[in-house]
Structure 1
């Protein structure tokens, strides 16, 4: 338990120092790469789902309503 508490205090102190003095990364990262990353991620996601939907042969469990007729569940009484 002592090691966990010591690590937690160390991580908290490190986070406080980082907030106080600023992160080591430049502040213009999002302005430089944000739009490109967003568009790249959207293109990647669209490409992967397009492949999955068209090429993998997965049988999607679409609704059988109106396509399947139920069987009679009891014998007809005479």
Structure 2
């Protein structure tokens, strides 16, 4: 990204096109996602599920999902 920003500040448009073409043609990103994409997704989903399962079951948070029947009006004071 640094090379692209440097080329964008350059007045010569050819330099920007060269950096953009070089960036698009890189196979490193595609190879990384092809190799590690699904394991990272599964690991992230498992971690998220585990954390939320812990929060819901073990922290003792009172969730108070519905106030119906729990909210009572106060007595009128004159």
Normalised to the residue count of structure 1, the TM-score between the two structures is 0.58
Alignment of 1:2-41 (within 5 A): 9-10=5-6, 12=8, 13=16, 16=20, 17-19=22-24, 22-23=25-26, 25=28, 27-41=30-44
Q: Encode CA deviations 1:15-49: one digit per residue, 9 max, x unaligned.
A: 52423xx2362522222211111111110000000
Q: Name the CA shift for 1:9/1:69 in 2 (closer, same or farther; >3 Å).
A: closer
Q: Name the CA shift for 1:24/1:10 in 2 (closer, same or farther; >3 Å).
A: farther
Kindly tell me the number of residue pairs found equivalent between the two proteins: 67
Q: Name the CA shift for 1:47/1:36 in 2 (closer, same or farther; >3 Å).
A: same
**How large is the Cα RMSD of the aligned pairs?**
2.9
Instruction: Indicate the structure with greater helix content.
Output: 2
Structure 2's unaligned 5+ residue stretches are: 9-15
Match of 1:3 in 2: none
Normalised to the residue count of structure 2, the TM-score between the two structures is 0.58
The list of structure 1 runs, each at least 4 consecutive aligned residues, that deviate by more than 6 angstroms after superposition, is none
Structure 1's unaligned 5+ residue stretches are: 1-6
